[in-house]
Amino acid sequence: MTDVSDRPNEPPRRRWLGFGTGLLLLIASGVAYRVVAEQLNRATDSVPIPFGTLRTLDLQFGTWRGEEQRLDETLIAKTDTDDHVSRRYVEAVNHRSVSLFVAYGVRARDLLPHRPSVCYPGAGWTRESARETRLSCGDGSELPCTVFHFRRGALGEERIVVLHYYIINGAFAPDEDLLRSIAARGGSGPRYVAQIQMASAAGLDAAAAEAAVVDFALASVGPIHDLLSKAVLEAESAAGGIETP
């Protein structure tokens, strides 16, 4: 890298213009970040749905059969969600197991600290990889999501795969960029935000674990999306809001 001091013939004015431009960009980006953070932090006009709505989610998706997973009350309090459901689904054919967590939040920023890239390392897992992908659904649509591979233990003997996405105003998003984009535009923020993540059972090899969460994601995405859309429309109607898709 060539330092400014290595360019003695460069006019001092040009050097300071470059430095000043960079400084202004840093200041501007800092201001923009604070604006977006504040927008996400405040209570917006996001639609509250009745607590317990997510527990009405189907207990069976095709060959996958679910059962409730109780979460510790302390852990529930830390999720900062307005509604959530936690389940374990087992596939009848191959006996594969996947844990599902769906969280709904009126305050969008409350969901952000609980994404896999933050939560799993905080619980002692090491991230091996993360990639965005688009899964082809049976109706011709696509599900954009992020697939994480984690390991834990001195020799990395315990491994899991986590598939994660958001539903924001009915649209799918693989990460937080859409949330930040909505916040940066100002206004009342997103109508609703839900975070969906599913994790494979530990002990499977990477390929089998990823296949399990992908298959389950494709089986469950339609019912999850439909439940949220219906719940939000009903909540808006009850509150006298405008029913918009």
Query: Scanning the structure block, which residue is given the tokens 């693989």?
Result: 174
pLDDT for position 148: 97
Alpha helix (H) ranges present in the chain?
12-41, 73-79, 116-122, 177-184, 206-238
Give the per-residue pLDDT at 105. 77
Predicted pLDDT at 32: 36
| C-alpha span between 83 and 175 (Å, rounded) | 20
| The pLDDT value given to residue 187 | 59
State the pLDDT at residue 226: 96
Per-residue pLDDT in tens (0 to 9) along the chain, 245 residues: 444 344 444 454 443 333 333 333 333 333 333 444 454 454 455 788 899 999 999 999 999 999 998 876 666 666 567 889 999 999 998 899 999 999 997 666 655 556 888 888 888 899 999 999 999 998 889 999 999 999 988 766 789 999 999 999 899 999 988 877 877 776 566 788 899 999 999 888 999 999 999 999 999 999 999 999 999 999 888 877 554 44
- Residues whose CB falls within 8 Å of the CB of residue 123, separated by 6 or more in sequence, listed in order: none
> Is residue 46 exposed (0-12), middle (13-18) or buried (19+ Cβ within 10 Å)?
buried
Residue 204 is predicted with a pLDDT of 86
pLDDT at 137: 94
The domain locations on the chain are: 4-41, 53-238
Phi, psi of 217 (to 5 degrees): -60, -45
